[in-house]
Amino acid sequence: MRVGEEVTLPCSGVRDDQDGCNGTDWTFNHLGPREVDQVKRGQIVEEAKTKSDRLSVAENCSLGLQEVREEDAGRYICTQIRSGRQQGEDAHVYLTVVSLTEHQDNDEVTLRCSVLNNAWYRHTVKWLFQGQDVDKDLKDMNTSESHYEASVTFLTSHVGYRSGLHLFTCQLTDDHTGEVFLFPFSTPSSGLLRLIVVSVGLATLIMIVVAVNIWTRIKGAL
């Protein structure tokens, strides 16, 4: 079982004349109203100890996160402080984690693609087979789709399963920007890191989509 790769969350408000990152704060909001400190004046704080061994602050004050996990999804806010006062607008960075799983029940296989813990962006999720939409009229392949999850179920005798799961691709579309992300089921997450920059008013909103491939080995699976 393998989860995530390293991702870098950029802070767009860093000043050129800033002395290191001693004026940079990072906070994290998983889903609820509470903001949790991650970095204070350039240093990783004790409150973030549950993932402190995976956090780092780069020279440009971006926030590095290794081995991305489901619970890392959410909103990260970078704030610049100078002489005790905030400088400029916050930089909002939204981290979305996508989970790809396989489950086998006797001779039936279900592939599931889920968008994890992101309440700020809506997505359309669906499965493709050999680069094309799964035909909903096919009797041997059933699909289910929503804004947060899509699944496809078929028999192990299906030609797609015999040939390899790489024929199946999860397509994730950002309903706001129209940006499309493709996640082949058998492709490691290292090649699936994408970055979108969206300007809304004075704030910079940055969405990062990270694919987390979670392979579930079931007894008797091919």
Domain that holds residue 46: 7-95
- 90 with 12, same domain: the answer is yes
Please name which of 3, 22, 9, 39 lies closest in space to residue 197, comparing C-alpha atoms: 9
DSSP reduced 3-state for 136:
coil
Is 204 contained in some domain? no
Same domain as 69, residue 56: yes
Do 129 and 143 belong to one domain? yes
Q: What is the pLDDT of residues 87-139, one digit of tens each?
A: 778 889 988 888 888 888 888 899 999 887 556 778 889 999 888 887 666 66
Task: Please report the beta strands in 117-202, taking only residues with DSSP state E, as ranges in sequence order.
Answer: 123-129, 132-133, 141-145, 149-155, 168-174, 180-184, 194-200
Q: Are residues 78 and 121 in the same domain?
A: no
The amino acid at residue 68 is: V
- The CATH code of the domain that includes 17 is 2.60.40.10
For residue 196, tell me if it sits in a domain: no
Q: Which distant-in-sequence residues (6+ apart) come within 8 Å of 152 by Cβ? A: 110, 111, 127, 129, 134, 141, 142, 143, 144, 168
Domain endpoint, select from 37, 69, 95: 95
- Range with the lowest mean pLDDT among 40-49, 52-61, 125-134, 156-165? 156-165
Check: CB of residue 207 under 8 Å from CB of residue 119: no
110 and 83, same structural domain? no
What is the four-CA torsion angle of 15, 16, 21, 25, rounded to 10 degrees? 10
Strands 149-155 and 108-116: antiparallel
Of 70, 95, 120, which residue constitutes the final position of a domain?
Answer: 95
Which residue, 79, 96, 95, is CA-closest to 11?
A: 79
Q: Which of 168, 195, 201, 200 is nearest to 184 (CA)?
A: 168
pLDDT per residue as tens digits for the range 155-207: 887 766 666 788 889 998 888 889 998 888 864 443 353 333 332 333 445 55
The verdict on 54 and 102 lying in the same domain is: no
For residue 78, with 0-12 CB atoms within 10 Å meaning exposed, 13-18 middle and 19 or more buried, which class applies? buried
Quickly count: other Cβ atoms within 10 Å of residue 168's Cβ.
Answer: 24
pTM of the model: 0.74
Write down which residue in 95, 127, 158 finishes a domain: 95
The CA distance from 62 to 59, in Å, is 7
Same domain for 100 and 175? yes
Domain co-membership, 89 together with 18: yes
Residue whose C-alpha is closest to residue 147's, from 172, 110, 170, 169: 172
Q: Are residues 27 and 52 in the same domain?
A: yes
Q: How many domains, the chain?
A: 2
